[in-house]
Amino acid sequence: MTFTPSPLEKHHFKDELFYIKRDDLLDIDFSGNKARKFEYFLVNDFPKIKQIVGFGSNQSNAMYSLSVLAKMKGWKFIYFCDHIPSFLRDNLVGNYKYALANGMELRLSNDKNTDANSLNDNKTIVVQEGGRQIEAKLGLKNLALELIVDIKKENIKNPYIFLPSGTGTTALFLQKYLPFKVFTCSTVGDDLYLKTQWDMVDKNMLEYPNILNSKKKYHYGKLYPEAYQLWKDLKDEMGVEFDLLYDPIGWIKFLENKERLKGTPIYIHQGGLKGNESMKARYERKYDKIL
Ligand SMILES: *Cc1c(COP(=O)(O)O)cnc(C)c1O
């Protein structure tokens, strides 16, 4: 199985034109860039494999998508993370809630990377944090091929791509397979962090994506009132709900640099809406009285 192409939509925000690749609509359960990254595991046969093992944070989009993949494949899914706040245990929400409902077996660990990788054997697939691995190439190449068709069909002049990065895997492989410039920004670390990630995924790249920055520094997972406000404005004006963890920071950095980027922008919506349930609750607790 491969996916039916996701729609490319034409939108305006503050009187400027943006095309949005709606990868959030790729599939009801298996959506966004995690579906693309894990497509390799979905479409290939692994007759010996009985379980899939992952690790990362307790609300990660990758964790939820792996739970969907495991369910579809009939595999056991073991996930390592370093803590579960008692608040979350008592109030199941977001990716954590839905991954548990899909049968995820959660294991707490002070060294989740080592512990996850120690389970590696011929019955097990171990997935790196955030799906940062070479197998992601297959699904992201398919996304790039879809974009090339979309751009031709819509007759878009001088297109360029923007998407916010975590590990940078999505941006890296899009740049590999697209004849257009791919711009991204880091939401996790600095420029050097992103380049180090890229070296770990694929050392033989001819061209890296271009990294955009903002005047203000943003820390991963922290709440910012201006980010929440922009997320609301994007939703009100375009009728598109973006993810609350990566997208608002992505849009802030994108809009800050947009004037000097020449051409027609295509923003990649990378899904993650299941995770909004917990992010929204955090924002509402902190800011809804003010905003
Ligand atoms: C995982 C994720 C990202 C980051 O993707 P990378 O390939 O790790 O850069 C961005 N946006 C959303 C919604 C995600 O779920």
* The domain boundary residue, chosen from 109, 134, 159: 134
- Structural domain harbouring 152: 8-29+135-287
DSSP string of 221-283, one letter each residue: T---HHHHHHHHHHHHHH--PPPSSSHHHHHHHHHHHGGGS-SEEEEEE---GGGHHHHHHHH
Q: What is the CATH number of the domain that holds 161?
A: 3.40.50.1100
Clarify whether residues 178 and 268 are in a common domain: yes
Ligand 1 — pocket residues by CB below 6 A? 32-34, 61, 130, 164-170, 243, 246, 270-272
Q: Is residue 2 part of a domain?
A: no
Same domain flag for 130 and 215: no
Within a domain: residue 1? no
User: From atom 5 of ligand 1, which residue's Cα is the shortest distance away?
Assistant: 166
Structure-block tokens of residue 286: 């902190």
pLDDT confidence tier of residue 1, bands split at 50, 70 and 90: low
Residue 121 covered by a domain: yes
Tell whether pTM > 0.75.
Answer: yes
- 171-195 pLDDT tens trace: 999 999 999 999 999 999 889 999 9
Q: Tell me the CA–centroid distance for residue 271 and ligand 1, in Å.
A: 8
The three-class DSSP label of residue 133 is: coil
Whether residue 151 is found in the same domain as residue 247: yes
pLDDT over 90 at 290, yes or no: no
Same-domain status, 24 and 40: no
Q: Is the dihedral of CA 226, 241, 169, 100 positive or negative?
A: positive
pLDDT at 289 over 80: no
Residues 42, 144: one domain?
A: no
The model's pLDDT over 98-152, given as tens digits with 9 standing for 90+, comes to 999 999 999 999 999 999 999 999 999 999 999 999 999 999 999 999 999 999 9
Which pLDDT score is estimated for 202? 84
Name the strand (E) or helix (H) holding 72: helix 61-73
Distance in Å, CA 208 to ligand 1 centroid: 17
Q: Given 101, 134, 167, which residue is the final one in a domain?
A: 134
User: From the CA of 166, how far away is ligand 1's center (Å)?
Assistant: 5
Q: In sequence order, what are the residues at sequence separation of 6 or more whose Cβ sits closer than 8 angstroms to the Cβ of residue 273? A: 24, 31, 32, 241, 243
Q: Is the pLDDT of residue 291 over 60?
A: no
| Nearest-angstrom CA–CA distance, 193 and 3 | 32
Cβ atoms 78, 107 nearer than 8 A: yes
Testing ligand 1's pocket by substitution, the residue of 22, 30, 59, 61 carrying the most ligand atoms inside 8 A of its CB is 61
What is the enclosing helix (H) or strand (E) of 33?
A: helix 32-43
Based on the fold, state whether residues 109 and 142 are members of the same structural domain: no
